[in-house]
Amino acid sequence: NLNITVGPLGGAENLPPEYREAWEEEDQRRRAEISQDLRDRFYDKLTHLSKRCAVAGDEGTRFAKSNLGHVLELCDILPSMMIDSDMELQGAIERAKHMLQGVDSDSIKSSKIVATDISQQAKEIANSLM
């Protein structure tokens, strides 16, 4: 989705007083919406990783490298997408990076212990965002 919102340049200080409060409320609403969208994206990828790891190695299931890649990609780009500092999201990103350090898809596919551990940790990190 691409949403474009037009507002005054320079912020509320350039608005007449009767419009300033409404603009500030709208700005806060948009910032909260953007922050929630970033959390939702990370939550979705972590939840997906958790579910895929939970069944990794089971007969008839497949574990793709992209399950890890998508989470790591978000770990790299989400900080630059944050408008306001979100310490909870930043902490979740750091925990996810730490969780996946030295882990690859082959280790998840070949070890049920590793897969279960990653599944549990990813679920815990995702739940911390809600």
Neighbour-count burial for 47-79, b at 16+ CB within 10 Å, e otherwise: bbbbebbbebeeeeeebeeebbebbeebbeebe
**Residue 8 in contact with residue 14, Cβ under 8 Å?**
yes
One-letter amino acid at 125 equals I
Give 68-111 pLDDT, tens digit per residue.
999 999 999 999 999 888 899 999 999 999 999 999 999 998 89
Can you tell me the distance from the alpha carbon of 47 to that of 19, in angstroms, rounded to the nearest whole number?
42
As a whole number, the mean pLDDT across the chain is 89
Q: What is the pTM of this model?
A: 0.82
Q: pLDDT tens digit string along 13-29? A: 777 788 888 888 888 88
Q: Quickly state the pLDDT bin for 10 (edges 50, 70, 90).
A: low
Mean per-residue pLDDT for 30-52?
A: 94
